[in-house]
Amino acid sequence: MLRQSTGWAWSRGRLLFLVVWLNLVSRGVDGCPAKCVCYSEPRPTVACQQQGLFSIPTEIPVRSQRIFLQSNKLTVVRSTSFSSVHNLTVLWMYSNNISHIEAGAFYGLERLEELDIGDNSNLRIISPTAFRGLSKLHTLHLHRCGLSELPVGAFQGLFSLQYLYLQDNNLLALHNDTFLDLANLTYLFLHNNKIKTVSDHMLRGLINLDRLLLHQNRVIYVQPRAFSDLGKLTTLFLFYNNLTVLTGETMDPLVSLQYLRLNGNQWVCDCRASTLWDWFKRFKGSSSELECNVPLELFGKDLKRLKSNDLEGCVETPQIQTQLFSSKPRSGKFPSTENPLGDGIPRCCLPDNDKSSIISGKTIADPSSYNSRQITNNPLKEKENISKTKFREHERTKNETIRNKQSLNDGPLGTLSNNLDQSLVQIEDLEPSTAPTRKKKKCTKKPKSDAQCLKGHGSTMQVALSSLFMSIVWIWFSLAMS
């Protein structure tokens, strides 16, 4: 009898424990939304993925820490959608039809660590305050959202962010200081967009960035100080862009770089590539090939494997001129900073026999008169042609040269050497002494001086004076005889 009562008491104890446990569990998942599965281990979770939902459920338990809403048909994230779940740490809403996120949609989610709203191709605009207050957010997915622009201050206050996914959008440019508050960011994915310029301040503040993926964009120019804050960067991908020039000074701040990919660009392998070539001599990491596009004799060769004398001179072709030297201003919110040569044409691209036309600022009637003149087999005749051409060009540009000499520092070409100025002023003295005798020019157009004119026609004056003297003597003699 005692044994039976003991067994009965034991059974009642087990039953009571089970009721209490079920009660506790039920409290953890109380009010689970329809079409969702709720569980409390390892953390209170509401899983509603792939349920064909058109709106975010309203019966989400307040103790929820993880909410999975991916692969549905959601269109709007309202300011009240998550206002009651202040313990939320993970929120997945990728692969929906979200086109609008109301201001304050994530307000109060101070414990949120991961937010994935990627793969929402209709989410083309984000409110500047959409992510305000998410001070503990360390991962943000915004890939494949159709974004063409990020608002100023979009990532303001996200001091804990470490991973930012912005790939596969339509971004044309990024505002200066877009990432200024992201000092802890380590991975930045910007590949497969339409970015054309990496400006000096676009990446400012990313002092702990480890990986930067900018491949498969339309980058034609990286400004000289674009990488100034990236001293800890180990991986840089810039392959399959429209780069033609990248200076060694631009790459100098990347002291921790280990993996570099620059293939698939249109590299100009002339004097403009010399500083990058020098930088590669110091670079100890892994790099892809840099296939030369021009000049033709270096086409397909790896820039890093060229010799220093291969980079002498400057390539000038119509295609490169159109891409590199166009400085026509464009309308829009972002300044046009697409000139890969920076403030002007490099001095290495100014051959001695072409500099007068550049300085004068005028289009010369025969642009090939210097470096594309007709070649003859007679060296004396060729020297004569050179001197004639230079003399004509001097007569046409001498005044403009004198006026422009004092404003060279303010022009688009920068400062040129003083030796060049002197050679332009004294270009008429370059006539070779071996040139054949030519017919002397008259002094009616632009005489150098009266003395030179008289010297040139000395014999004619002497004859005239002699005739006049003889006439006076004859008239005097005639009068005396009469």
Distance CA 439, CA 430 (A): 18
Q: How far is CA 181 from CA 151, 155, 172, 184, in A?
A: 14, 7, 22, 8
Percentages helix, strand, coil for the chain, rounded to the nearest 5? Answer: 30, 10, 60
Angle made by CA atoms 426, 429, 432, in degrees to the nearest 5: 145
Q: Any idea which residue has 């540009």 for tokens?
A: 397
Q: Whole-angstrom Cα distance, residue 35 to residue 313?
A: 70
Helices marked H in 245-378: 248-251, 274-282, 318-324, 355-360
Does some domain include residue 170? Answer: no
What whole-number distance in Å separates Cα of residue 136 and Cα of residue 376?
A: 77
Residue 69: inside a domain = no
377 within a domain of the structure (yes/no): yes
Q: Which two tokens mark 460?
A: 């004619």
Would you say residue 185 lies in a domain? no
Dig out the tokens for 188 from the structure. Answer: 């930045």
Cα 177 to chain center, whole Å? 15
Amino acid of residue 279: W
Instruction: Specify if 475 maps to a domain.
Output: no
Q: Which two tokens stand for residue 424?
A: 């332009």
Structure confidence at residue 481 (pLDDT) = 66
User: Tokens 């060296």, residue?
Assistant: 379
Q: Would residue 369 count as lying in a domain?
A: yes
Distance of CA 261 to the CA centre of its chain: 16
CA distances from 248 to 9, 90, 325, 399 (A): 84, 43, 20, 39
Within-domain flag for 428 = yes
Given this model, what pLDDT does residue 48 score? 96
Q: Identify the sign of the CA torsion 67, 70, 72, 74.
A: positive
Cis ω on the peptide bond leading into residue 42 (within 30° of 0)?
yes
Residue 260's nearest CA partner among 227, 212, 302 is: 212
* Residue 286 backbone phi and psi in degrees, to 5: -95, 140
Residues in the chain: 482
Q: What is the domain count for the chain? A: 1
In this structure, are residues 86 and 109 in contact, taking their beta carbons and an 8 Å threshold?
yes
Distances (CA, A) of 395 to 58, 108, 418, 436: 85, 76, 21, 21
pLDDT at 475: 75
Q: Is 361 left (phi over 0), alpha (psi -120 to 50) or beta?
A: left
Tens-digit pLDDT profile for the chain (482 aa)?
444 554 555 555 554 444 334 444 444 446 899 999 999 989 999 999 999 999 999 889 999 999 999 999 999 999 999 999 999 999 999 999 999 999 889 999 999 999 999 999 999 889 999 999 999 999 999 999 999 999 999 999 999 999 999 999 999 999 999 999 999 999 999 999 999 999 999 999 999 999 999 999 999 999 999 999 999 999 999 999 999 999 999 999 999 999 999 999 999 999 999 999 999 999 999 999 999 999 999 999 999 999 988 888 887 644 544 343 333 333 344 544 445 554 455 667 665 544 333 333 333 333 333 333 333 444 444 444 444 444 444 444 444 444 443 333 333 223 333 333 333 333 333 333 333 344 444 444 444 444 444 444 444 556 566 667 677 767 776 776 65
Distance, CA of 347 to CA of 419 (rounded, Å):
13
Query: Of 229, 289, 233, nearest to 265 (Cα)?
Result: 289
Q: Tell me which DSSP letter residue 427 carries.
A: G
- Residue 402 in any domain: the answer is yes
Alpha carbon distance 354, 365 (integer Å): 14
Q: 416 is in which domain, residue-wise?
A: 350-439
